């Protein structure tokens, strides 16, 4: 899209199943398909209750969800709606969405670390209600579907499910973790160091 005119900025990206294509989502709901990704519809040009903040693909690669800052979820292709936070009180805006490995559910992440589970997605803990140095800006599901990871603007990363429950700080590119209980560091093995 570099050099092309956009009505609104791109806010999210989702790869398709083949890995040879992807979709970009703009804050006005517009979707742009590249490579072998198929355009399956969008909220572009339609009335939306809040700006779009993220996109997630279904595991089949034949659908995707767009999510708004108010928690509204818009399904396209083989993506189904399993509920949303639209019209409900949020302590902080939604910043991202990730689907389950079955495609029959999804998690929404809020900037305060809160997590909302729908369909077959299981709530596995969150950073909601805990002190964060910086706001959460994204969420990703684990490949096994047994957890999810949140990331903050300073690079702080928190995982829930697979590695820990409730959520704990795992690693960070920042100098200050956003959770008070980091996982213990592994001892270095001298034979592996060069």
pLDDT in tens, 117-175: 999 999 998 888 888 899 999 999 988 878 899 999 998 888 888 644 444 433 333 33
Report which secondary-structure segment, H or E, holds 159. Answer: strand 157-160
pLDDT at position 102, please?
94
Query: Which pLDDT score is estimated for 24?
Result: 97
Q: Look at phi and psi of residue 153 and say left if phi exceeds 0, alpha if psi is from -120 to 50, else beta.
A: alpha
pLDDT band, very low/low/confident/very high, at 70 (cuts 50, 70, 90): very high
Average of per-residue pLDDT across 170-181: 35
Q: Given this model, what pLDDT does residue 16 score?
A: 92
Structure tokens at 141: 């599901």
Average pLDDT along the chain: 84
What residue has token string 């292709």?
Answer: 77
Of 94, 77, 103, nearest to 135 by C-alpha is 94
* pLDDT surpassing 90 at residue 98: yes
| Whole-number Å distance between alpha carbons of 75 and 31 | 12
| Structure-model confidence comparison of residues 190 and 47, the more confident one | 47
Is a pLDDT exceeding 80 seen at residue 185? Answer: no
């Amino acid at each position: 899209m570099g050099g092309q005119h956009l009505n609104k900025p791109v806010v999210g990206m989702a790869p398709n199943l083949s890995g040879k294509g992807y979709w970009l989502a703009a804050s006005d709901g517009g979707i742009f398909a590249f490579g072998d990704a198929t355009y399956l519809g969008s909220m572009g040009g339609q009335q939306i209750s809040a700006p779009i903040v993220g996109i997630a693909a279904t595991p089949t690669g034949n659908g995707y969800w767009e999510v708004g800052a108010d928690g509204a979820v818009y399904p396209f292709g083989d993506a189904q709606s399993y509920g949303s936070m639209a019209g409900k009180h949020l302590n902080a805006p939604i910043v991202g969405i990730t689907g389950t490995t079955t495609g029959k559910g999804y998690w929404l992440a809020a900037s305060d670390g809160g997590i909302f589970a729908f369909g077959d997605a299981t709530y596995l803990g969150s950073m909601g209600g805990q002190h964060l140095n910086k706001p959460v800006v994204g969420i990703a599901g684990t490949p096994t579907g047994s957890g999810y990871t949140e990331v903050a603007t300073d690079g702080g990363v928190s995982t829930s499910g697979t590695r820990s429950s409730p959520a704990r700080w795992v690693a960070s590119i920042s100098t200050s973790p956003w959770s008070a209980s980091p996982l213990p560091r592994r001892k270095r093995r001298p034979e592996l160091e060069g």
